[in-house]
Amino acid sequence: MFASKSFKSLLLLHSKRLTTPKPYFPFPSTLSLKHFSLTSQQHSLTVSYLINTFGFSPQTALKVSESVSFDTPQKPDSVIAFFTKNGFTDAHINTIVKRVPSILVCNPDKRLSPKFQFLLSKGASASDIVRLVHRCPRILGSSLKNNVIPSFELVRRFLQSDQKTIDCVFGNRPFLQYNVGVQNVNMLLDAGVLDSSIGYLFGRRPSILLSTNLREAIDEVKEMGFDPSKITFAIALHAKRVVSKSRWDAKVDAFKMWGWSEEMVLDSFRKHPLLMLASKDKINEVIRFWVVELGWDPLALAKMPKIFGFSLERRIVPRGLVLKHLIVKGLREKSAKLSTPFDVSEELFLKNYVMRFKEEVCELLKLYQEKISFQEHREGCVESAS
């Protein structure tokens, strides 16, 4: 009804324009009216179809119809049937149509099925494909030959397995930007970055390889002293691309509040570039425990930046309390290397810092296990409540 009234009003206006004498060129106006009539009928059918089939509001249907129109329901019906056959729900299909309206007038056997078959051949499940297309519908309009297959093969070159590539592809929306991806990969290779380091980026944060201005980040990481031929270069690049300048500066300020200099922060970042992926709160919590609970020098942590990546509750606190007890009892020198007890596995920690001290073993086990058990209990309560 909404579309019909609009059509009648526009037709009336058009008829009024025809009353103006045009003695030399009468036919173009007649042809224009005929074209207008056909187009309006198409538009009216499209809007009605979108409302009746998908339950769109008139406003949404009108907006979608700006990108697609059809004069019969045959093609959109075949597209809907294809999606339904392949496990898509009505909600999935509605979302896809809103984001890629042109999909309604495609030939699903030529445009959609080959992409699905390719992904299935690489190990994706039907449910994987539903999740990917629902999350990133533009894969449907992307060229299989020029984008989907080259993108998949580009990622696979560095991850070296179909399964890892599938995990990467289905876990990240920016996958389908082959031209950008290959350009950035070549830029890294030209800079001397190894395939294994590029594989790290694809596995951890592929969006970095599909971002703009990557050259600027590469140059910045080089200037900080990282060697492109080592994995730490890729990790540092990861940190610089995902941590905004404001968050980076806030983390530096957090370290400085505990007496670190900017040079100490940079040196620690060079040793362990994952350092700057720790949150500002985590940085403060670790140093606060180190200083307030253990009574140790916060500057000592600059020599062991890896500790900021460990769990505070499950590793740093229980092991720190055991070490403090050993130092107080004179069973370990405070000047001994502090990083080792935090780096080793739990089995080695218990063997070397708990079980070997026969007279203190009961006290040490109680101290250590109480903290571990408390954390496990707290995590269990959280899981039960969720």
pLDDT digit string, tens, across residues 322-337: 999 999 999 998 777 8
Residue 10 has a pLDDT of 35
* For the ranges 131-135, 245-249, 335-339, 378-382, the one whose mean pLDDT is highest: 245-249
Q: What is the Cα–Cα distance from 209 to 202, expressed in whole angstroms? A: 7
Judged by average pLDDT, the poorest of 83-87, 140-144, 254-258 is: 140-144
| Nearest Cα residue to 122 out of 160, 89, 165, 77 | 165
Residue 380 main-chain phi, psi, to 5 deg: -65, -40
Residue 28 has a pLDDT of 39
* pLDDT bucket at 32, cuts 50 / 70 / 90: very low
Helices (H), 224-360: 231-242, 245-257, 262-271, 280-288, 317-328, 339-343, 346-350
Provide the 10 A C-beta neighbour count for residue 163: 11
Q: What is the Cα–Cα distance from 87 to 90, expressed in whole angstroms? A: 10
Share of the chain above pLDDT 90, in %: 69
Average pLDDT, the chain: 85
Contacts of 287 (CB under 8 A, 6+ apart): 255, 258, 298, 301
**C-alpha distances in Å from residue 296, one per residue of 69, 145, 249, 324, 338:** 71, 61, 25, 9, 10
- Indicate the residue type of 178: Y
Q: What is the Cα–Cα distance from 151 to 139, expressed in whole angstroms? A: 11
| Nearest Cα residue to 46 out of 57, 61, 33, 34 | 61
The answer, yes or no, to whether residue 382 has pLDDT greater than 70, is no
Q: What three-state secondary structure class fits 328?
A: helix
pLDDT by residue (tens digit) across 37-72?
Answer: 435 556 788 999 999 999 999 999 999 999 999 989
Residue 38 has a pLDDT of 38
Residue 15 has a pLDDT of 39
> Encoding tokens for residue 382?
């959280």
The more confident residue out of 36 and 246 is 246
